[in-house]
Amino acid sequence: MGSFELSGKVYQTDEDGYLVNMDDWNKEAAEHLAKEENVEMTDAHWEVVNLLREYYEEYKIAPMIKILIKAVGKKLGPDKGNNKYLYELYPQGPAKQACKIAGLPKPTGCV
């Protein structure tokens, strides 16, 4: 368990740095989480994060990676609809890094 503070607001995080309370999320918090992951947020990064949040709003779960890839391809153009593109933006994986920055729950899955 941990926390960070931005502009006077305290954000609770779990032991891996994911936001405990999704509703706390805002752009400023996202920038902070991105910095922790050594990711510099460009427009391309935001496109993916926004898409993740839209999906989560609607379905209340994080998308399976295949669905994310397809959604990215459909919304942002076919040249971006592949895993390689997502890993260029988020080198340690969209599931781990993009979800964290988007304030989504920690991906599950053991092995």
Q: What are phi and psi of 17, to 5 degrees?
A: 85, 10
Whether 99 is catalytic is no
- Residue with smaller CB distance to ligand HEM, 32 or 106: 106
**DSSP strand pairing (9-13 vs 2-6):** antiparallel
Footprint on residues 25-44 left by another protein (CB under 8 A): none
Residue 57 contacts another protein per CB under 8 A: no
Which member of 1, 10, 110, 111 is catalytic?
110
Residue whose C-alpha is closest to residue 54's, from 32, 74, 39 = 74
Rounded Cα–Cα distance for residues 91 and 16 (Å): 17
Residue 104: DSSP 8-state: P
Residue whose C-alpha is closest to residue 23's, from 47, 56, 48, 49 = 56
| Residue 29 tokens, joined | 């918090």
Least distance (Å) from another protein to the CB of residue 107?
A: 6
Residue 66 interface partner, choices another protein, ligand HEM, none, CB cut-off 5-8 Å depending on type = another protein
Q: Using CB under 8 A, which of 49, 51, 52, 69 touches another protein?
A: 69
Residues that bind another protein (CB under 8 A): 15-16, 58-59, 61, 64-66, 69, 83-84, 87, 91-96, 106-107, 109-111
